[in-house]
């Protein structure tokens, strides 16, 4: 036996000559050199069946240790050299979700090279930019040390917490024990570093010329221009359109000072009031402290009428679901105004015209005197309505007479429609 073993270990090409033992002798086979089997096993083995070209080049293909063979020829495969249990669960990268999932050995394709024994190894190798997110999502778990540290995220310009076990080797030199220490060390001039992820921020949308409300967590990775308040954002990003910015996008409105300034409206020859916090850069040179000063300076030839218009003239505007009115002096220059209730209702609420015109304390719309008949399918009847008050959808069903309305809209029971309707057909 000793002579056989000596023969095996002395052959550099990995072959062995056996005369007195069978190939099934385990103690003999275990001493054969390891070689890469890329097709049948996709691993390293020492079954003695290596091709001749490997025997001819033993330095590159034959190894005394399986670890050396795997490192040389299957460095990407952590499972190299392990028993191939078809039911064993391995990890693989899910690039769409930036995490790692699991499936059994049998489910892997023959040429799958991205498989790992542990989720830690998969996340560190494939998602090194954000190992923490990879470990916290997907299937399976990374091993945790329960020791949290903070490291800089250079892309988001903030510090993120990470389990110490989930760090890459090169990240070890960047760790801090607290978020404050990390922010002070790496992002001293960043407004967002160390802020709560749920804290609201405002950032400018230059395409829409408005500021959008969001959270630190939702801010784009490259978005460094953010502000604590809507007013700061509008003032600094859109100094010449602060008013429209403050009223756009349901962002909550800017906090006002309560101090009114007066500005000229050249098109209507009057002065209007505006909160001082909403004064835009281009408007600053035109502001006056009161309406009298404004009218005297800009409309001196008609100063008295300018004042009276502010105090007395009422205009209509669209409120929530209805029209209302207020003195012209209370309108901001950007607000849409109407000379009559008719104009306001017809323009802003065409589908609920009747309700709008019947609003209390606003007078009423001027009617046409031309009655039309429209159907009420729920009550199986037709009723009259002034043509001016017809909503857009009602115009398609309106008729000149009650009978025409019943015959056209309730043709399936004209008799009942006529008897149910006021006045009858």
Q: Note whether residue 180 is domain-resident.
A: yes
End-of-domain residue from the set 39, 67, 83: 83
Q: What is the pLDDT along the chain (425 residues), one digit of tens a residue?
A: 445 445 544 455 555 554 444 444 444 445 789 999 887 777 888 888 899 999 999 998 999 988 899 889 888 777 777 666 677 788 999 998 899 999 888 788 767 778 888 898 899 888 887 787 898 888 988 888 888 888 888 877 778 888 888 887 778 888 898 888 888 888 877 766 766 555 677 888 888 888 888 776 565 544 567 787 888 888 888 888 888 888 776 656 788 787 888 888 887 777 888 888 888 888 889 999 988 888 888 887 776 667 665 555 688 998 887 899 887 767 765 678 888 888 898 888 887 888 888 877 777 888 888 899 999 998 999 999 888 888 888 888 999 999 999 999 999 999 999 999 988 88
| 327 burial level (CB within 10 Å; 0-12, 13-18, 19+) | middle
Contacts for 379 with CB less than 8 Å, ≥ 6 apart: 420
CB 283 within 8 A of CB 260: no
* pTM score over 0.85: no
- H or E stretch including 205? strand 200-205
Structure confidence at residue 352 (pLDDT): 81
Structural domain range at position 179: 148-186
Cα 200 to Cα 153, 196, 210, 228, 250, distances in angstroms: 20, 9, 16, 7, 14
Q: Note whether residue 281 is domain-resident.
A: no
Residue 38: count other Cβ atoms within 10 Å of its Cβ: 10
Counting DSSP H helices and E strands in the chain, the numbers are 17, 14
Cα 314 to Cα 117, 139, 317, 338, 396, distances in angstroms: 78, 66, 10, 9, 35
Structure confidence at residue 100 (pLDDT): 94
Q: Note whether residue 124 is domain-resident.
A: no
Structure confidence at residue 329 (pLDDT): 65
Structure confidence at residue 334 (pLDDT): 67
End-of-domain residue from the set 62, 83, 104: 83
Q: Note whether residue 276 is domain-resident.
A: no
Structure confidence at residue 251 (pLDDT): 55
| Domain count within the chain | 3
Q: Note whether residue 77 is domain-resident.
A: yes
For residue 115, what are its two tokens? Answer: 């498989």
Q: Note whether residue 268 is domain-resident.
A: no
Structure confidence at residue 25 (pLDDT): 45
End-of-domain residue from the set 57, 83, 109: 83
Structure confidence at residue 1 (pLDDT): 45
Structure confidence at residue 200 (pLDDT): 74
Q: Note whether residue 182 is domain-resident.
A: yes
Q: Note whether residue 14 is domain-resident.
A: yes
The whole-angstrom separation of Cα 366 and Cα 364 is: 6
């Amino acid at each position: 036996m000793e002579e056989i073993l000596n023969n095996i270990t002395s052959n550099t090409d990995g072959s062995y000559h056996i005369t007195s033992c069978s190939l099934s002798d385990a103690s003999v086979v275990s001493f054969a050199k390891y070689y890469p089997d890329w097709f049948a096993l996709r691993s390293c083995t020492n079954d003695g069946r290596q091709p001749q070209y490997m025997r001819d080049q033993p330095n590159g293909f034959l190894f005394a240790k399986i670890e050396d063979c795997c490192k040389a020829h299957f460095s990407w495969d952590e499972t190299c050299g392990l028993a191939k249990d078809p039911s064993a669960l391995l990890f693989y990268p899910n690039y769409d979700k930036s995490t790692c999932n699991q499936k059994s050995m049998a489910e892997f394709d023959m040429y799958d090279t991205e498989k790992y024994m542990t989720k830690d190894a998969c996340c560190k190798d494939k998602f090194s930019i954000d190992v923490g997110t990879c470990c916290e999502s997907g299937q399976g778990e990374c091993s945790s040390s329960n020791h949290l540290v903070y490291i800089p995220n250079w892309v988001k310009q903030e510090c993120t917490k990470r389990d110490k076990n989930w760090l890459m080797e090169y990240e070890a030199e960047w760790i801090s024990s607290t978020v404050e220490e990390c922010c002070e060390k790496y992002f001293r001039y960043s407004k967002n570093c160390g802020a709560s992820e749920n804290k609201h921020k405002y950032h400018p949308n230059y395409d829409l010329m408005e500021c959008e409300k969001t959270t630190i967590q939702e801010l784009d990775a490259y978005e460094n221009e953010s502000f604590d308040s809507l007013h700061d954002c509008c003032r600094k990003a859109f100094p010449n359109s602060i008013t429209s910015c403050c009223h756009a996008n349901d962002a909550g409105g800017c906090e006002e000072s309560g101090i009114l300034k007066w500005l000229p409206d050249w098109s209507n020859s009057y002065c209007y009031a505006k909160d001082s916090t909403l004064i835009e850069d281009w408007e600053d040179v035109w502001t006056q402290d009161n309406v009298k000063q404004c009218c005297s300076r800009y409309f001196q030839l008609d100063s008295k009428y300018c004042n009276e218009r502010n105090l007395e003239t009422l205009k209509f505007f669209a409120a929530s679901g209805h029209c209302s009115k207020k003195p012209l002096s209370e309108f901001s220059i950007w607000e849409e105004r109407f000379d009559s209730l008719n104009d306001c209702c017809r323009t802003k609420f065409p589908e609920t015209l009747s309700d709008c015109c019947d609003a209390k304390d606003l007078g009423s719309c001027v009617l046409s005197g031309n009655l039309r008949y429209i159907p009420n399918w729920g009550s199986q009847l037709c009723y009259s309505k002034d043509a001016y008050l017809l909503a857009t959808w009602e115009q398609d069903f309106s008729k000149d007479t009650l009978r025409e309305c019943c015959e056209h809209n309730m043709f399936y029971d004209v008799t009942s429609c006529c008897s149910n309707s006021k006045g009858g057909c």
